[in-house]
């Protein structure tokens, strides 16, 4: 915490909580998602090197179900696992497996595993992503910030999540993973560049997001 006061951050967190915290996903639903992921990982052909990363990541999550506090697992976290499993199934069903989709799913699962290892949780958890929109090193205010899990690029109809207040700063609790983060100016419609951010490994992450 070097650029934000405690009171500002408290306000950001309160605003996030006031919009409605996500409900826990439930142990049964989480187990079904993990089992779907295991089936998808097992179906990766031996000739695809990505399987050497995908299978250990899925197995790590499966092995740590007993260590998981289900209260730490949001519905969105479980939903992302479920979507990852569905994408694996469809990518592997093609005559030529969709390597890009499999890579993005794998990298997201690896990010989730990294978060669990670094923070000492079984599965789940959230990171408070604090965003400042900047231009040439100067804070720019009143931009709307969006975040989208990178592998959701492959999910038809997937919508980005909107931060609850305009910048700067603005903050949102996100499940661990790899996200595209960008900003848009509601007055002019200008859109800033998308930045790929690994939201993992700590309780809070500060991001200076460039805008045009």
* 10-19, 28-37, 47-56: least confidently modelled range: 10-19
The whole-chain average pLDDT of the chain stands at: 89
DSSP symbol at 177: E
Q: What is the pTM of this model?
A: 0.87
Which pLDDT score, from 0 to 100, does residue 23 have? 47
Helix (H) or strand (E) holding 145: strand 144-149
Q: Is the Cα torsion angle 182, 186, 191, 192 positive or negative in sign?
A: negative
Residue 176 has pLDDT above 80, yes or no: yes
Helix axes 75-93, 99-119, angle to 10 degrees: 150
Q: How far is CA 196 from the centre of its chain?
A: 11
Residue of higher predicted confidence among 3 and 26: 26
């Amino acid at each position: 915490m070097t650029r934000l006061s405690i009171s500002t951050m408290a306000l950001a967190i309160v605003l996030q909580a006031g919009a409605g915290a996500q409900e826990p996903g439930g142990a049964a639903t989480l187990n079904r998602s993990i089992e779907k992921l295991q089936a998808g990982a097992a179906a990766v052909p031996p000739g695809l090197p990505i399987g050497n990363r995908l299978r250990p990541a899925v197995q790590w999550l499966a092995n740590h179900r007993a260590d998981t506090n289900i209260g730490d697992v949001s519905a969105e976290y479980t939903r992302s696992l479920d979507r990852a499993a569905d994408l694996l199934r469809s990518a592997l069903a093609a005559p030529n497996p969709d390597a890009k989709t499999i890579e993005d799913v794998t990298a997201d699962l690896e990010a989730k595993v990294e978060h669990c290892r670094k923070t000492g949780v079984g599965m789940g958890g959230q990171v408070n992503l604090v965003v400042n929109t900047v231009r040439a090193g100067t804070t720019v205010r009143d931009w709307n910030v969006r975040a989208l899990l990178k592998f959701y690029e492959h999910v038809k109809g997937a919508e980005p999540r909107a931060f609850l207040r305009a910048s700067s700063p603005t903050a949102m609790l996100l499940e661990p993973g790899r996200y595209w983060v960008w900003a848009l100016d509601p007055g002019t419609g200008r859109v800033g560049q998308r930045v790929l951010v690994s939201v993992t490994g700590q309780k809070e992450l500060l991001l200076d997001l460039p805008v045009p």
